[in-house]
Structure 1
Amino acid sequence: MANGKRILRLTAIVIALAGVLGFQLEAMGMLDAADQAAGRPDVIMIDTIAGLETLEQPAAVFRHDAHTKALKDQGMSCESCHKKDDKGNLALTFDRRADGASPETTASGLKDLYHNGCISCHVESADKGFKSGPKAGECRSCHQERPEAADRVPAGMDNALHFVHWDSKVIPADPGKETNCQACHKKAGEEDSWRFSEAAKTEPLKDVFHSQCVTCHERFAEAKADRTGPVQCAGCHGETETAARAVELAKNLKAMGGTLPRLPRKQPDAALLAPETKPEAVNEKPVGMAPVAFDHKLHEAETASCLTCHKDGVNAKLAPSFEALHDVADPASCVGCHVQEQQKPECAGCHAARPAAKALSQDACATCHNVKAESGLLMAAAPLNPAAMSKDEKAAEAARVIAQRPETQAVVAERDIPEFVTIAGLADKYQPSKMPHRKIVMTLYKGMRGSKLAATFHTTPQAICAGCHHNAPASLTPPKCASCHGKPFETEGKPGLKAAYHGQCMTCHKEMKLEKPAATNCVACHEKKTN
């Protein structure tokens, strides 16, 4: 009897251990799945049922690219999981066209749809001898307690990706034209006015891209076209894949001369930006700031996408309001974009120490707002009222003013720049600092070489001097720093002389990312006294 009880206890322990071991094995599978999912761009958490009722199990982790590859290895396609709509576009939902009021989209219906569809496919794949996924009873291999976040690179249709499409010989040309834009866009109104297909009016743009783009890529892949696009998530959202695509495009562009061709959209080379004027006021004298001659061609080449400026779409009017174009903090505004350019190492040495509000100074306004009645450099030769001008007349006037802008940075003659400046006013524990003044200035000039932004806004040769000699008149003989920073401590917002020197020099070295001399290397600028 005692032996019988002992056997029963041992049996119970063995069963319990088996259960725990089974749970641990399943949990290990779950953790393995989590490890594989971490950092992937294709992770999708399937939690559709959560919108209908409380989940009995955590959301299921689905690795999309792994399934796409598995289907391809078996000679299958996206249509194995996704149905197509009446227009032939893939639905983004699994095994149905859309979520709606139908039996299979109830909570229980969806549960059966996913379980039967996924598990049966895994079983069939295993029977064919292919590596397969979890089967019945292996719940935790999909339903993980800890949700996984996908690591996706944003996939925008920038100018480079646009070029890849409209330059493609695989995409058929528009009827009677050399372009192929109508493969993705439909004409609306004017000839040069385009919009994405009708679906974009009712569906989220993200869904439109995934449905229509993937469908098109899959169609060309099935036809074994010479060039096609990705159907896997990593192809558009993977950091490694997108970087490789950029390198390939750069090689192709280099073979073409290194310049990305402009979109064939009949966009203007130049435009005249002016405040709104009522039609009935066309004969009145214009008021307010003078118009701006905007170099559209130059800015188009310097931005990754038209949407950088046209945030509401290329067909939406770019409102010429002060707020829209002068917001220092908005990189989509004119001033905000220029402030971002000032953060580049070759510019930040001077601009980082200057408040952003300086971009809106009175002197800076005339650099852009210079199309007016006065004669002279950068000015229109006759009274100008943009409201009374045609589109072509505005473009011609803007182009005329742009053509007069300087192409290169105005510079001070090298012989007029002091070679060294000795800073000895604070010599105490350290020797006086012998600053290589000319070398510093020439290095700054070199960093601005080829920058039309610098050439336009640095209107005088002495403008560069304001980087260090701020708030002083533009002159080759600016006042000494001590004339403003003479007191030892900060007064009226001005730091003392020692703080001013260190703040200016160290900030410049840091912002320009200078490794030698380092910003904190004291003896590189002034040797320590030995006595």
Structure 2
Amino acid sequence: MANGKQLLRMTVIVLAIAGVLGFRMEAMGMLEKAADTKGRPDVIMIDTIAKIEKLEQSAAVFKHDAHTKALKDQGMSCESCHKKDAKGDMVLAFNRQGDELSADALKDIYHDGCISCHVESGEKGFKTGPMVGECRGCHQAAPEVTGDRVEAGMDNALHFSHWDSKIIPADAGKDTNCGACHTKQGEEDAWRFNAEFASKPENEAYHAKCVSCHQGLIEKKAERSGPVQCAGCHGKEEVAARKVEEAKTLKAMGELPRLPRKQPDAVLMTAKVEGPAPEKVTGMAAVAFDHKLHEAGVDNCRVCHTQGVNAPMDKSFKAMHDLTSDASCVGCHAVEQKKPECAGCHAQRPVAEAMSGTSASCVACHNVGTDGEPSLELLAAAPKEMRTAVAAEAVAARPESHAMVEVAAIPEFVTIGSIADKYQPSKMPHRKIVLKIMDGIKDSPLAASFHAAPEAVCAGCHHNSPATVTPPKCASCHAKPFEAEGRPGLKAAYHGQCMTCHTEMKLEKPAATDCAACHEKKAN
């Protein structure tokens, strides 16, 4: 009897374990399926025929990286699907040279090529894809998996790894290898890609050149190559991992070498009137643009040269001062002001108001040609060499560090108690706060140029008053208690200023809502 009960107990346990395992296996299967339905960087919707006639079926869902892996597992390569042209470059079109074909011919190429490969893979014992008659396996009206790609681009670090590479052959008679991708090596009018790719859409040009080159290096068993799978350039995790490695390399190098493209260190920009007399200058002083400094602060040249490096820059007022565009000077500076070390002051001092309320910010850039020689007219018509020299001289004269008020002139503490009610007056560590702000922007060339006056940083809190170390009291403009004459009342002004600053600068201590950290509550 005892043995029977023990056997029954063991049976129940085994069944329970089996049930749990079965549930876990089913759950794992569900998770795997769920993971597969997430966005993938390699998903391509094949709808080539739609350019010729209306599709009879939904576009085919194609997982490129999954197929690349399957081919590799079977000892096959990209040439199983992609032919090579006369120059040996891989053609992106599936199983054809890219010739214009009829809809029926395209159907035959895809169906014969894909299904026959699936059959052969199955016969070899490999996991395979849909067979004849299983149309919905590829043609899905509601795709189970969708494309999710990050934008791939040639940032400065990635560009450096190419032009510094010893694997890519050097140009004939030169010590550069720019000719592997560019028609003219190091010339200011060089095209981004070789001439034969200039007429192609950008995505086709990149894939035709980059993937073909990477694949060629792999076939040659080169020490290093580049990605041929979609995730290598468009996968979120893969790109993030590359960025981490690039950051490590950059830290070890100290700084990234400049691209050898004969670009100027400084450029002089003069404003001109748009219209029938473009040679007439506006009267606004010229701008000495520190090209070398800005070049090091962006991921690639097209951050500013949005129409291409070789296209003329749009130097109109709107293009340079558009607050909504990161490619404009003012718009880019506004983005910089959102950094925690700057946002404490600038979050409550919008760029638009600062620009419309004072000319001080304009003079920070427009300050060449205002006094003596050369005149604005001469600068506008001067040869390139002279303009470059004037710009370089103006850039070199700019302050390297932030102007600062003498520490002794900064009050150590400021007691705020004029409206103390439920709380004790707040003893604000004024000097500590100012020095903390100054320390955060000490390495910023932007702050050094725009905060030319030592008292400029004071205006972050003491706004709408002259920059001075003895600003008027807040109560001069802000009345009690919260709202008066269209402006915040004194209590609202104090809390709005301090709490906003703490929030924007991401200060954990004291928290913006920790009342007792700033003023103790009264005992009564």
TM-score by length of 2: 0.88
State the partner residue of 1:115.
Answer: 111
Partner of 1:383: 375
Per-residue deviation, residues 491-513 of structure 1 (Å, max 9, x unmatched): 44311111111111111111111
CA contact (8 A) 1:153 1:239 kept: yes
CA displacement at 1:55 relative to structure 2: 4.1
Match of 2:495 among 498, 502, 513: 502
Q: 1:127 offset after TM fit, Å?
A: 2.2
- Distance in 2 (CA, whole Å) between partners of 1:330 and 1:431 is 46
Q: What is the deviation of 1:33?
A: 6.2
Task: Give the drift of 1:91.
Answer: 2.6
Match of 1:370 in 2: 367
Does residue 484 in structure 1 map to residue 481 in structure 2? Answer: no
Change (3 A) 1:326 1:277: closer
Q: 1:49 to 1:319 in 2, by over 3 A?
A: closer
Q: Distance in 1 between matches of 2:239 and 2:282?
A: 49
The structure 1 residue matched to 2:393, chosen from 392, 396, 400, is 400
Q: RMSD of aligned C-alpha atoms?
A: 2.6
Match among 342, 346, 355 for residue 351 of structure 1: 346
- CA–CA distance in 1 between the matches of 2:404 and 2:426? 26
Distance in 1, matches of 2:267 and 2:53, equals: 56
8 A Cα contact 2:267 2:388, kept in partner: yes
Offset from partner CA, 1:343-382 (integer Å, 9 cap, x none): 000000000001221342311111111111526xxxxx54
The answer to whether the Cα contact below 8 Å between 2:198 and 2:205 also exists between their aligned partners in 1 is no
Note the 1:243-322 alignment, pairs <5 A. Answer: 243-255=240-252, 257-276=253-272, 287-322=282-317
Q: Secondary structure at the match of 2:364?
A: helix
Q: Does 1:418 align with 2:422?
A: no
Partner of 1:459: 452
Identify which of 179, 182, 186 aligns with 1:185: 182
Q: What's the offset of the Cα at 1:95?
A: 1.4
Residue 163 of structure 1, aligned match among 160, 163, 168: 160
* Aligned counterparts of 2:296 and 2:249: Cα–Cα separation in 1: 17
Counterpart position of 2:318: 323
Instruction: Classify the secondary structure of the residue corresponding to 1:151.
Output: coil
d(CA) in 2 for partners of 1:356 and 1:388? 32
Letter in 2 for 1:268: P
**Distance in 2 (alpha carbons) for counterparts of 1:149 and 1:125:** 25
* 1:428-478 deviation digits (Å, cap 9, x = unpaired): 122211111111111101110111110110011110100000011111110
- What letter is aligned with 2:178? C
**Distance in structure 2 (CA, Å) of the matches to 1:287 and 1:499:** 43
Structure 1 counterpart of 2:436? 443
User: Unpaired segments of 5 or more residues in structure 2?
Assistant: 1-28
Pick aligned residue for 2:420 from 414, 427, 438:
427
- The CA distance in 2 between the partners of 1:266 and 1:260, in whole Å, is 16
Instruction: Tell me the amino acid that sits aligned with residue 88 of structure 2.
Output: G
User: Any conservation in 1 of the 2:480–2:491 contact (CA below 8 Å)?
Assistant: no
TM-score (norm 1): 0.87
Instruction: Quote how far apart the aligned CAs of 1:132 are.
Output: 2.3
Query: Secondary structure of 1:194's match?
Result: coil
Would the alpha carbon gap of residues 303 and 43 (structure 1) be closer, same or farther in structure 2, given more than 3 Å must change?
same
Deviations 1:189-231 (A, max 9, x none): x943200223444321111101111011100110011111110
1:236-268 alpha-carbon deviations (Å, 9 max, x no partner): 01111112222222333334x321111100000
| In structure 2, distance between residues paired with 1:373 and 1:45 | 59
Query: Counterparts of 1:393 and 1:198 in 2: how far apart (Å)?
Result: 33
What CA distance in whole angstroms lies between the structure 1 residues aligned with 2:403 and 2:271?
31
CA–CA separation in structure 1 for the residues paired with 2:371 and 2:130:
78
SS in 2 for 1:213: helix
Decide which moves more: 447-456 or 135-144.
Answer: 135-144
Going from structure 1 to structure 2, the CA distance change for 1:489 and 1:459 (only over 3 Å counts) comes to same
Asked if the contact 2:369/2:379 (under 8 Å) is kept, the reply is: no
For the residues of structure 2 that align with 1:31 and 1:434, how far apart are their CA atoms? 57
Rounded to whole Å, the distance in 2 between the matches of 1:436 and 1:373 is 42
Q: Is the 8 A contact 1:33 1:141 kept in 2?
A: no
Number of the residue aligned with 2:74: 74
SS at 1:292 equivalent: strand
Q: Aligned partners of 2:335 and 2:354: how far apart in 1?
A: 11
Task: Pick the aligned partner of 1:176 from 173, 176, 179.
Answer: 173
- Does residue 336 (structure 1) correspond to residue 324 (structure 2)? The answer is no
Aligned to 1:194: 190
Alignment partner for residue 132 of structure 1, among 123, 128, 131?
Answer: 128
The 1:43/1:236 distance shift into structure 2, 3 A limit, reads: same
Give the match for residue 17 of structure 2.
none
Post-superposition offset of 1:398: 0.7
Compared CA separation, residues 62 and 466, structure 1 to 2 (3 A): same
Q: Secondary structure at the match of 1:461?
A: coil
Change (3 A) 1:213 1:30: farther
Matched, 1:516 2:509: yes
Q: 1:235 and 2:232 equivalent? A: yes
